[in-house]
Amino acid sequence: MSDIHIRIDGRAGRITLNRPKALNALTYQMCLDIEAALDAWRDDDAVALVLLEAEGDKAFCAGGDIAEMYATGTAGDYEYGRQFWRDEYRLNAKIFEYPKPVVSFLQGFTMGGGVGVGCHGTHRIVGESSKIAMPECGIGLVPDVGGSLMLALAPGRLGEYLGTTAHRMGPADAILAGFADHFVPEEQWEAAKEALLTGTLDDLEARATTPPPGTLADLQPRIDAHFAGETLADIHRALRASDDTFAQEALDKLARNAPLAMACAVEIVHRVRGATSIRDALDQEYRYTHRAMQQGDFLEGIRAAIIDRDRQPKWAHAGIEDVRDIEVAQMLLPLGKDALTWEDRT
């Protein structure tokens, strides 16, 4: 069976991710297929809205399928990954800018590349099982797929916290941070989807209700106090100076991730607070991902998490405060002729 099921169903363009055993991880071809469908439906009067969903109850999409990037990158071929990111980021921008409603149902894990597909639409639905996160720093990447824009727009310093710690958000926290719009009990999802096939959103919005309480609202004063630094090193020092439980838990989370990636993530979030569009955010992200295999910790991060699964990455920097400002600047320099563009060069 295909990894993705794309069709017109009633008045909806319907896209179903269909790799439940792989937590619906996005392959390169899936990205291209979603983009082709969106292009075909943009000016099709028979399609009133787009419905994004996924098979299985464990995940909407837990990220991108990165094993091929490891295989090509370790062989010295960095272009495959760069092409994947260029095309994926173009898709992310198209979803964000799409002229018709885009409704996504985000059960279970929605992480990384899943955020790029599921969290840029107009109606992002979460339920009891939803767990949304940007865990890229754990494999030597920065929060990407346009996620840096949501982090930058999140209240207070939630963006720096979520982007560096990979904190998993339940439904209430995802809504607070701007990664989701509505909580609908999952027992109502099938009926809500059926109503969407008429091309109207009234039934969906009528089903939205208050989610179970989250944790970020209560934590926000401490997050804002500890994560307000100009650099990752500033944040690290603020956390180390505190003896409360929150600070220690945050330090434990930071200790798992690549120092260079986290330092660049903080810088990107700060830069993107002045962005005028998602394309500005994607441009900043691509400066890092373009260099991630050759100059960053990405290949080592994949090895430790996906290939050998030893969970013992040997990062280029021993600790957070070993990252120099010049190294962050070098990872985020403009790319010149290699800069992210928006045409299809597949």
Kindly provide the b/e burial profile for residues 93-111, where b requires at least 16 CB atoms within 10 angstroms of the residue's own CB. bbbbebebbbbbbbbbbbb
CATH class of 4-338: alpha beta
Which two three-digit tokens encode residue 311? 């969970």
Prediction pTM value: 0.96
Q: Is residue 94 a contact partner of residue 43, using CB atoms and an 8 Å limit?
A: no
Domain boundaries, the chain: 4-338
Question: What percentage of the chain reaches a pLDDT higher than 70?
Answer: 99
End-to-end, the C-alpha distance of the chain in Å comes to: 25
Residue 239 scores a pLDDT above 70? yes
Q: What is the Cα–Cα distance from 277 to 235, expressed in whole angstroms?
A: 27
- pLDDT for 65: 80
Show Cβ contacts of residue 126 under 8 Å, excluding neighbours closer than 6 positions.
106, 132, 171, 174, 175, 180, 182, 183, 184, 211
* Per-residue pLDDT reduced to its tens digit, 56-71: 999 999 998 888 889 9
Q: What's at 44, amino acid-wise?
A: D
Residue 346 scores a pLDDT above 60? no
Element (H, E) at 8: strand 4-9
- When pLDDT is cut at 50, 70 and 90, the band that residue 343 belongs to is confident
Higher pLDDT, 65 or 40: 40
* Per-residue pLDDT reduced to its tens digit, 201-229: 999 999 999 999 999 999 999 999 999 99
Q: Could you say which DSSP state residue 59 is in?
A: E
Q: How do 59-61 and 109-111 pair as beta strands? A: parallel
Q: What is the Cα–Cα distance from 7 to 218, expressed in whole angstroms?
A: 43
Q: Is residue 103 a contact partner of residue 125, using CB atoms and an 8 Å limit?
A: yes
- pLDDT for 141: 97
